[in-house]
Structure 1
């Protein structure tokens, strides 16, 4: 791994400025952007990017499952009401400015050489990139599982933070728009393992940014109540059980942490029981 010389760190700054130009140039006049410090432009880019990803993923997925494929995946009487979805959008939009602060902070730490991020996959090679990515994702799975579980087990945290999300506890109230409908601190805490991993594992910076924004797409998917039946993915079938029992399926992308710590409930087995 290369040293953290200023010339090397400038690669990260140049990359983040490029992302900022892509997102802000079509939307914000240069005369408005120029007076803003780098961190403010970064936050604005993350905010606009987060809003776009949230609405694009939410609207496209809702259109597909509730209108285009109406009654194919979700019975008519289980489609969430427009009122429920608008409430979820309202909660998510209140939190979005705060969500955008987390990638802004992580980028600042990367640009200042505080993390183990590297700029190009060529620096480590594809085999080591794959190894590091698997470790990164495994640590995130572990961290998100325990963060989510403790938000349930520590009652003051549940009451003050996580209960905001769990008002959506039935199939006819859950929708893709519920994916980011959290108390702002709750949403940030559940994403913090992504940032912690930057200090523990050599991480490709672009991959880290992509994975953070993939969270918005993934959380939309796991709140649509459709069981994808793709083992070992912790899809919506598992997450719907979490919203109805509150004590199972805390995991993120896969079922391994719930299996390891005894909190897994399989939707296939639940359907056989008639639950």
Structure 2
């Protein structure tokens, strides 16, 4: 068992060397305990992913494709985007604690994670991955919905994110502009799922960091019209009505629980 758990430690150590070895001299991160190396790597990696994905996406839709996807009056001001960056950066050290904690639990054998796909086979891997995503989808939907329905949670946590409630205040940088505890609560289903279904560890890590890219995408106000994906068209409605489209990746949870509102239905009908 200890030899198998060492595979997880070796994998996270590999990630540490790639990220920390690229940006910091070993004299800085080398003496740190393994747990804190993981946190520092997650913080640096998460920050880089946030800025790279945010700047590239904003550059593409607001400058290269200016007025193609969005009308001029729907493009957020630089001031609005800087505020979103400020809020996200205050929260990033706390966000980084969740994947670090999940790695610690995996490395100690507390979860149902497995290290190699050939340990279970491709069929089991795909089946487990689908169940994992289903648990995440269900968990994020209800966590998000309760952050609206439970008034103190909304007032003291989720309202920080909902000051961005119009097209011209939403941007890819708003994707991580949450109160730290709010952002962590909405990502917790990723960790809970590790105790419920066997999950490939590398895939779990990838899913956590894909959150940064996905949340940037659903805050750009561009409706991709790719059914059944819960894209930006749906999420923009959420920011304007506050009572619809709580889902994350797909529309299924909102459809099942009666909170779905289709952006196509809001478009003006041609005469």
- TM category (shorter chain) comes to over 0.9
Question: Are positions 1:241 and 2:230 aligned together?
Answer: no
Paired residue secondary structure (2:22): coil
Report the Cα distance in structure 2 between the residues aligned to 1:35 and 1:51, rounded to whole angstroms.
23
Shift of 1:272: 3.8
Distance 2:144 2:81 in 1: 23
Q: Is 1:20 aligned to residue 16 of structure 2? A: yes
User: Which position in structure 1 is the counterpart of 2:157?
Assistant: 161
Alpha-carbon distance, 1:84 to partner? 0.1
2-structure distance, mates of 1:273, 1:120: 52
| 1:70 aligned counterpart, secondary structure | coil
- TM-score by length of structure 1 reads 0.97
Equivalent in the alignment of 1:185:
181
Q: Tell me how far apart the structure 1 counterparts of residues 268 and 262 of structure 2 sit (CA, whole Å).
A: 10
Q: Which residue does the alignment assign to 1:117? A: 113
Deviation for aligned residue 1:26: 1.4
Deviation at 1:264, TM superposition (A): 0.1
Q: Deviations over 1:167-220 (max 9, x none)?
A: 000000000000000000000000000000000000000000000000000000
Alpha-carbon distance in 2 for matches of 1:7, 1:103: 22
Task: Give the structure 2 partner of residue 151 of structure 1.
Answer: 147
Unaligned segments of structure 2, at least 5 residues: none
Q: Structure 1: state its 5+ residue gaps.
A: none
Once the two structures are superposed, residues 226-275 of structure 1 have per-residue CA deviations (whole angstroms, 9 ceiling, x without a partner) of 0000000000000000000000000000000000000000000111469x
Q: How does 1:122-137 map to 2 (within 5 A)?
A: 122-137=118-133
Q: Distance in 2 between matches of 1:259 and 1:100?
A: 32
Residue equivalent to 1:106: 102
Equivalent residue for 1:228, pick from 218, 224, 231: 224
SS of the counterpart of 2:38? helix
Q: Alignment length, in residue pairs?
A: 270
Per-residue Cα deviation, 1:57-91 (whole angstroms, up to 9, x for no partner): 10000000000000000111110000000000000
Q: 30, 33, 39: which is aligned to 2:29?
A: 33
TM-score normalised according to structure 2 size: 0.99
Comparing 140-149 with 264-273, greater Cα deviation is found at: 264-273
Q: Secondary structure of 2:203's partner?
A: helix
Give secondary structure in 1 for the equivalent of 2:169: coil
2:40 aligns with one of 20, 24, 44:
44
Q: Does 1:76 align with 2:72?
A: yes
Residues in 1 aligned to 2:212 and 2:30: alpha-carbon distance in whole angstroms? 29
Equivalent-residue separation in structure 1 for 2:174 and 2:269 (angstroms):
27
Q: Deviation at 1:105?
A: 0.2
Q: Distance in 2 between matches of 1:51 and 1:273?
A: 42
Q: Pairwise CA RMSD of aligned residues?
A: 0.8
